[in-house]
Structure 1
Amino acid sequence: MKKSIKTLTAALLSLTLGAGAFAIDGTEVMTRAYDRQKPDFSKAAVQLTLSKNGKTEEIRNVGEYGRCKDGLSDVVMIFLSPASVKNTRFLQKENNGKDDDKWIYLPSLKNVRRVGSSDGSKPFVGTDFTYDDMSTREVADDTHELLKESADKGNFKDLYVVKSTPKDPKSSQYSYRISYVTKDAYIPTYIEMYDNKGKLLKVNEIKAINKMPGTNGRVYNVPMENVMTNVQTGHATSMKMVNIVVDQPLDDHYFTQNFLSTGK
């Protein structure tokens, strides 16, 4: 089962020791990451950059709408440029207790196509993210082992390190994942994904997190740049928030197949 991300988009306790064991386990860390608070609405301008061995190949501009309603998250992405992907639109709707629904509108075909579970390991609009990477797995689908109570990785320090292994190997394109999770916001800021031979395949890294005020005194921890790197090919995709607004209501029609078809 999978749970939506969220708007690039997207996604993690204090620790004490007792009798030589961790006072928190991997399942609890990942549960808190899974359940962290999200904005009721979000609207963002996203710059998506494709690169190979550090050299930029293409820059794409994307509009993204997000909604969290009745505890379920939906996201719409609208590709604005360049011409090769312009007017491509993607909708992901989270379901309770079953896989997310996903649809994509391809202007070359002039129709909306459902993205099936068999498409999960395919690249998302030519990026280094797959369709399954655009969702977060249900905590219960994996076993979670706390490897370290504190480690530094990338731009963040003092992180939990959790190894997540699918209970059903056929349910995931990865043999296991290792997540480095912040202790204040429970955000996995660095995730290593291993192929079916146990070799490191991809790394998903959050470069920065901003605190953003919402309604009713809420403050959200918003990832501002997310980079997925295929370490076996040297290819990478960066999703960077150019601008984002939270908790300003959006009309329900944005989160429909009709909007995918018409763009309005």
Structure 2
Amino acid sequence: MNFISVENLSYHYESNDENDLTKVDVIKNLNMEVKKGEFLCVLGHNGSGKSTLAKHFNAILLPCGGKVYVDKMDTADEDKCFDIRSNVGLVLQNPDNQLVASVVEEDVAFGPENLGVPPKEIRERVDNALKAVDMYEYRKNAPYKLSGGQKQRVAIAGIIAMEPSCIVLDEPTAMLDPRGRQEVMDTITKLNRERGITIVLITHYMDEAVKADRVIVMDDGKILTEGTPKEVFSQVDLIKEHSLDVPQATEICYELQKAGVNIKELPLDEESCVDVLMEVLK
């Protein structure tokens, strides 16, 4: 069952210069879907259109052409805007731009309060959301005292407390160190696997995409290729032709394969890479 459907989506930005009427096409007749409960990763280099696409999923941006449906609701229908944004939460890359309160638990409560949730239920939602991202013990802390990864997990908790069916994360680890990246990825995976929340992860880190159920690669406002991580990253030449990378484990074995080593299947992660190399050395 599709939770988000994109039909012939086109979007362009207009120049801010009154003397320049140029329109820059960012998304071009794009068709795709997000299945309910899946973990979808959207990859692409800067300017490929992936962040613009993410903003269409909760009606921050509206199509210049085509349609976007969220749980069968048209994002262009103003009467459905509240329901759409209640169903799809958006987490951006800089956590400092998303935290609005001086205490962690008050920040997480901000969303439910604006939805008109009763105080007793807000308390329950805040506690449950912080526990879901392993930040409950920091509930009385000031956000500015947290690490980047912890701040991003609090931002995710704020979305969880609103009880959306889907969370879209637009490069949430771009400003984090490796430890913070791992904390956020563990949280995202846990929410999808244990709570069944639909996840759409926008990223340019190939190693993060390996954890997804399905991967879409964008280039120049279009879908370049899509499939399972194994299907997508087996197309090493295609990916590289479009100035993108593949996971390090895949890269190593691809180069060995080119050099004549008998490697039948390219691995996606370090453990699989070790297994492949051990098999070759037998």
After TM superposition, the score normalised by the length of structure 2 is 0.28
Rg larger in 1 or in 2? 2
Greater fraction of residues in strand? 1
After TM superposition, the score normalised by the length of structure 1 is 0.30
